[in-house]
Structure 1
Amino acid sequence: MKYSSKKIVQSLTEILVAKQITHTVISPGSRNAPLTTTFQSHPSIKPYSIVDERCAAFVSLGIIQKIKRPVVACCTSGSALLNYYPAVSEAFYQNKPLIIISADRPKEKIDQSFGQTIRQENVFKNHIGFSANLIEDSSEKGLRYNERLINEALNIAIQKQLPVHINIPFSEPFYGLEESISVSPKIIQHTPFDKVLNVNELDEFAKKWNVSKKKMVLIGQLPKQTLFQEQINHLLKDPSVIVLHETTSNINHEKAINSIDKTIFSLSPHNFEKIKPEILITVGKNIISKKIKKLLEQFPARYHANIAPNGNIIDTFSSLTHNFETKEELFFSQFFYLTQPHESDYQERWLNLKKEKHQKHQTFLNQCEFSDLKVFETVLQQLPQNIDLHLSNSSIVRYAQLFDLNPTIEHFCNRGTSGIDGSTSTAIGSAIASSKQTVFITGDISFFYDSNALWNSYTPQNFVIILLNNGGGEIFKFIPGPDQTNALKDYFATEHTLTAKHLATMYGYQYSKVIQLNDLQNQLQHVFSHNQPTLLEIDTRNVENATILRNYFQALK
């Protein structure tokens, strides 16, 4: 084994391993060579080499989503570090422990006209849990100071589930090597204080809950959780409770509203006011549906409790009255002891609405021509059991919200900042760390924007990309506003004639393309069973997708 002779690198590596942080995604460079050689050599470290730093950070995020442990992204100095920022901000708002480790020039070289040199200290300060700016001091005192900062950063990443940044200045030489690690760094373990729910506040809220006949639980993005699913099952035994949840919530129940926009998009404010909740509990991360956010802000519940494991006060509808700093499973475990069902027709009224809209949905889809909407119905019906399904942002995740999804599938989407950048990289990172097959459904703009994600040596053979190519940002043809300007084609939708065929060939993907429904149905019979990564491109650019979607929502009225 060959390890860097720099003691701080040896200390850092040993502390990472001691805290069971073993996945490192490395982007090549010279100044981070001490880190690269040590991570690559250490028997407990699993290294990956990803050239594009922006992709590398999102690959790291995808691995985190699967292993539910911190992952390191490591880069050289200069602008390389700034390419991590999109993934850092996404990790910040997803509460994912992405650990950024950057090499830097010595402090006296900053702003002195040296190459690959920028002001790296605290560069992520607005979207980071902690910034550890190490010093270049190999003395015993200097080493202990750096080890304390490293421990603090990693403990915050683990406990608060936030990204952290460790910045390390290195002077040459970078390639001094030793046969073994010669340091025994201090490992600072931190036992978090488990916050106990305020019994009085919980009891007060439960009393309000118990007398209400119209209760709503709205669930945003969450990982798949067996206990929480069981708690939702129990909650829905109460006829005064309705649960609205999004595709990304990974919750399923026949008595829940799983397609929020399908159910409420055509509702007038007057009709929603009749079924608005008296009391509301929100759980999970960002809500996708703009309609439910608008209606709950326009017609707020009298009481609104948010379950916030990180303690952040999120008042999306300007109606928050209670903020419970705890995990959702712990909240409901204690809440159920204080609650009792209430006779009501509230759940029934919502379920009747769901049934009505689903029948209209199915009638429209049965007659729908080949289009983005029909493609989604067809693809989702053919997905295998027990896979991981990643969805890109913009139109893709919103189309998915309109359909009933397979309860054996776990759904992922980067809804922290909801950008189109990094979706493919995240899906590949997740696939690398998953024992299950990963399928990624993406739009064309998002796919081509992140095409460097395909440039790696780790993509599993059963990874499948389903690319919906409608020739531009179709969402801008649907939402109000852009079509009233002269800039729709070139500046909003950014229409194009690109195809993924040559990218697929270059990166070794099995490629096929379809332009009609029969071909799609035939391809879906075997696209999930190839023995190499597969890319299925579905071309709908000659279809009036926005018009069909408008007609669909009109048909739901």
Structure 2
Amino acid sequence: MIYPKIPLAQTVVQLCKAKGVKHIVISPGSRSAPLTIGFSNDDYFKCYSIVDERCAAFFALGIAQQLKEPTAVVCTSGSALLNYYPAVAEAFYSDIPLIVLSADRPKHLIGIGDGQTINQKNVFENHVLYTSNLKLDLKEDDVNGVEEVPIFQNLENKVETLLGLKKGIQEYNEEAVDAAINIALVKKGPVHINVPFDEPLYEVVNELSVKPKVTIAEKKLLQVDDSLLEDCVKDWNAASKKMVLVGVNQPNQIEQQWLETLAADDSIIVFTETTSNLHHKAFFPSIDKLIAPLNDEGFEKLQPDILLTFGGLIVSKKIKAFLRKYKPEQHWHIDQNKANDTFFSLNNFIKTTPNYFFSKLLPKTAPIKSDYYPYWKYTQESRLVKHDDYLNSIGFSDLKAFDSILKSIPNDTILQLGNSSTVRYAQLFDLNKTLEVFCNRGTSGIDGCTATAIGCAVGNNKQTTLISGDLSFLYDSNALWNNYIPNNFRIIVINNQGGGIFRILPGHKNTENFDTYFETYHQLTAEHLCKMYGFKYEAVSDEAALKASLNSFYSEDNLPKLLEVFTPKDLNDEVLLNYFKFIG
């Protein structure tokens, strides 16, 4: 087998292999050549070549999201590394294990005007769980770059000292790489390993010169303190209004018995978001549909005594505004790593998994007679009737398009949602419970939705459909510059000729300033991008054409497909705002 000659590159590659980091996304570059040689010549690794580093990092994030295990990205030195930052931040806030391997210049070449060189040390410091700046391998025939080189009395002492330094550097690098990968494995987040290489970069050998020491990553289940559990049981049993709010959540994470127990208690309502991947006939999806029309009296009735949250970030602005104004007496959050005080009332961070906490709490509690659930269930049913009545009364628009599209997605497939208006429209509908739903809600940016969805499609065997707005799609169009897109991958672009969500927000619409700087009106389409990147393309602009196209859109084909849905930009905001008035 061919290996890079540089021991540091061998160390990084061998430790990734030993710890099961199999998927490696590589962007081309010279300084990173030792890593590229090491990964691409070992059949253990599945390597991908993605030119655009921003897209490469989101592509890797999509793979890691599906596999629930670390995926590595490899880039050269300089600004290439900075292009990883949006995906690194998303991984940080979404708890996705991403390993950034950046090649760097030797220390003595940094800050002297050498080409393709920036200050890479700790560049992601605020958005990674761990950062490690490795040490340059020591060459026995060249001590340039070694700090505090001793004055040698004779050649024998010089050789002995150099060997000691070399051993110390190797041990440091092994420990740093080992620790970084373990943290990504255990804590589920991004880590950054900065790897300096000196020339020559392309030399290879047939045998390894290092054998790194490997430590096993151990994750301990955090137990709930007995006194804390007793207090929780006491308060839970005393509260007649308990709200469970679930944010971003991986599919099949919560045991069904605990869902059934929550559903059987009239003092509990469970709010689920589209991204929560939790379903039960007694739960309350489509949060905005329920609470948007409420007045002060309704909010006071909904105000919980105890708010229990788990999962990632919350999409609904309306539920956040409600709970910040009508604060619960207690807010408990369950998570192994972190708790956000989203509603400014957090008083109990339960540092464990939801399954473990429910297994300790719920068997010690009993259902309470309350009108909390019955009242809001009746309200929900009323909203559902009006929801259907409204959809039957309106013409073609974003809302109407989403109704048809979300009903069309095949069972047991994956739905990736773009950010901004896309995920918010999806929140208004009760989704097919067989779907697995994902969205980059860590930072809620539009910058990598397409690349993430493609990585997701590569990381699993299920058909993946991305629904995206036009700006989000065009912004991330380099994501299509990718040789690994499965033929069953589907994209639906809702093209309302600009940032339609800004027409819904407060502001002065229909002015030149608004059209240019907020809505960013355009007349671009995806047609030519599809021709360039090998997608089958179809466009529709009315309900009948949309439904006809969706009938065959998901069927097998020899190319991925994109469906562009054109909606009336000047009507969509009015339709949506009137929707909330109508259902109330």
Return the TM-score normalized by structure 2.
0.93
| Residue number in structure 2 paired with 1:49 | 49
Rounded to whole Å, the distance in 1 between the matches of 2:9 and 2:315 is: 42
Report the alpha carbon displacement of residue 229 of structure 1 after superposing the two structures with TM: 4.3
In the alignment, the residues of structure 2 paired with residue 549 and residue 51 of structure 1 have an alpha-carbon distance, to the nearest angstrom, of 40
Give the CA deviation at 1:226: 5.0
2: CA distance, partners of 1:199 / 1:60: 41
More deviation, 394-403/234-243: 234-243
Q: Do the aligned partners of 1:371 and 1:543 also contact (CA within 8 Å) in 2?
A: no
Indicate yes or no: 2:341 matched with 1:315.
Answer: yes
Rate the CA distance shift 1:229–1:478 in 2: closer, same or farther, 3 A.
farther
Q: Is the Cα contact below 8 Å between 1:393 and 1:415 reproduced in 2?
A: yes
- Does residue 439 of structure 1 match 2:459? no
Match of 1:425 in 2: 451
**Are 1:516 and 2:531 an aligned pair?**
no
Choose which of 350, 356, 367 in structure 1 pairs with 2:382: 356
Gaps of 5+ in 1: none
CA contact (8 A) 2:60 2:98 kept: yes
Cα offset, 1:275, TM superposition: 2.2
Q: Do the aligned partners of 1:76 and 1:102 also contact (CA within 8 Å) in 2?
A: yes
Deviations 1:83-115 (A, max 9, x none): 000000000000111100000000111111111
AA in 1 matched with 2:571: E
Name 2:503's counterpart in structure 1. 477
**Aligned in 2, Cα 1:109/1:490: closer, same or farther, shift over 3 Å?**
same
The answer (yes or no) to whether the contact 1:477–1:488 under 8 Å persists in 2 is: no
For 1:391 and 1:73, locate their aligned partners in 2 and report how far apart those are by CA, in whole Å. 23
Q: What residue is the counterpart of 1:507 in the other structure? A: 533
Query: What amino acid does structure 1 have at the position aligned with 2:262?
Result: L
The equivalences for 1:111-260 within 5 A come to 111-138=111-138, 139-225=166-252, 227-260=254-287
Contact 1:461 1:531 in 2 (8 A): yes
SS of residue matched to 1:440:
strand
Task: State the Cα distance separating 1:303 from its structure 2 match.
Answer: 1.5
Contact 2:450–2:477 at 8 Å: present in 1 too? yes
Question: Greater CA deviation, 448-457 or 6-15?
Answer: 6-15
**Aligned mates of 1:147, 1:542 — CA distance in 2:** 56
Count of aligned residue pairs for this structure pair: 556
Partner of 1:455: 481
CA RMSD in angstroms comes to 1.3
Residue of structure 1 aligned with 2:305, choices 278, 283, 287 = 278
Instruction: State the Cα distance separating 1:36 from its structure 2 match.
Output: 0.7
Q: Distance in 2 between matches of 1:415 and 1:299?
A: 24
State the Cα distance separating 1:488 from its structure 2 match: 1.3
Structure 2: how far apart are the matches of 1:8 and 1:117? 20
Once the 2 structures are TM-superposed, how far is the Cα of residue 424 of structure 1 from its aligned partner? 0.2
**Aligned to 1:405, which of 426, 431, 436?**
431
Conserved? CA contact 2:254–2:354, under 8 Å: no
The SS at the match of 2:251 is: coil
Is the 2:247–2:276 contact (alpha carbons within 8 Å) kept by the matching residues of 1? yes
Q: Which runs of 5+ in 2 are unaligned?
A: 139-165
Cα shift readout 1:393-435 (whole Å, capped 9, x = no counterpart): 0000000000010010000000001011100000000001111
Distance 1:497 1:144 in 2: 58
Give, in whole Å, the separation in 2 of the partners of 1:334 and 1:16: 37
Distance, in Å, in 2 between the alignment partners of 1:226 and 1:202 is 22
Aligned match of 1:96:
96
Instruction: Report the alpha carbon displacement of residue 20 of structure 1 after superposing the two structures with TM.
Output: 0.6
2:500 partner letter? E
Shift in Å at residue 371 of structure 1?
Answer: 0.6
Find the counterpart in structure 2 of residue 493 from structure 1: 519
CA contact (8 A) 1:482 1:492 kept: no
Code of the residue aligned with 2:423 in structure 1: it is: V
Q: For 1:487, what is the secondary structure of its paired residue?
A: helix
Once the two structures are superposed, residues 22-79 of structure 1 have per-residue CA deviations (whole angstroms, 9 ceiling, x without a partner) of 1000000000011111110112111000000000000010001110000001100000
Distance 1:542 1:415, change over 3 A: closer
> Quick one: distance in 2 between partners of 1:391 and 1:241?
29
User: For residues 353 and 510 of structure 2, what CA distance do their matches in structure 1 show?
Assistant: 45
Give the equivalent residue in structure 1 for 2:151: none
Amino acid of the structure 2 residue aligned with 1:423: C
Instruction: Give 2:68's aligned amino acid.
Output: K
Change (3 A) 1:482 1:111: farther
* Match in the other structure for 1:82: 82
* 1:386 to 2:412 alignment: yes
Q: Which amino acid aligns with 1:316?
A: T
Distance 1:20 1:170 in 2: 24
State the match for 2:142 in structure 1: none
Residue 339 of structure 1: which of 357, 361, 365 is its match? 365
**Change beyond 3 A, Cα 1:199–1:483:** farther
CA drift at 1:478: 0.4
**After alignment, is 223-232 or 181-190 more displaced?**
223-232
Q: Is the 8 A contact 2:500 2:569 kept in 1?
A: no
**For the Cα contact (< 8 Å) 1:70–1:98, is it kept in 2?**
yes
Structure 1 position 302 matched with structure 2 position 329: yes
| 75 and 523 in structure 1: CA distance in 2 versus 1, 3 angstrom threshold | same
Residue 261 (1) aligns with residue 288 (2):
yes
Matches within 5 A, 1:24-35: 24-35=24-35
**Deviation digits for residues 253-308 of structure 1 (CA, Å, limit 9, x no counterpart):** 11111000011111112211122111110111111111111111111111111112
**Whole-Å separation in 2 of the counterparts to 1:329 and 1:178:** 50
Match of 1:17 in 2: 17
The CA deviation at 1:485 is 7.2
The percent identity for this pair of structures is 48
Alignment check: 8 A CA contact 1:269 1:295 kept: no
Q: Which amino acid aligns with 2:580?
A: F
**Relative to structure 1, is the Cα distance of residues 496 and 71 closer, same or farther in structure 2, using a 3 angstrom cutoff?**
same
Letter in 2 for 1:516: D
Amino acid at match of 1:44: Y
Taking the aligned partners of 2:386 and 2:112, their CA distance within structure 1 comes to: 67
For 1:408, the aligned partner's letter is T
Structure 1: how far apart are the matches of 2:176 and 2:250? 31
1:441 and 1:204 mapped to 2: Cα distance?
44
CA contact (8 A) 2:261 2:362 kept: no
TM-score, length-normalised on structure 1? 0.98
- Greater displacement, 333-342 / 478-487: 478-487
**Alpha-carbon distance in structure 1 between the residues aligned to 2:263 and 2:234:** 18
**Deviation readout 1:174-202 (Å, 9 max, x if unpaired):** 10011233421111224233321111111
Contact 2:331 2:347 in 1 (8 A): yes
Amino acid at match of 1:347: Y
- C-alpha distance in structure 1 between counterparts of 2:423 and 2:32, whole Å: 37
- Give SS of 1:321's match: strand
Residue aligning to 1:537:
564
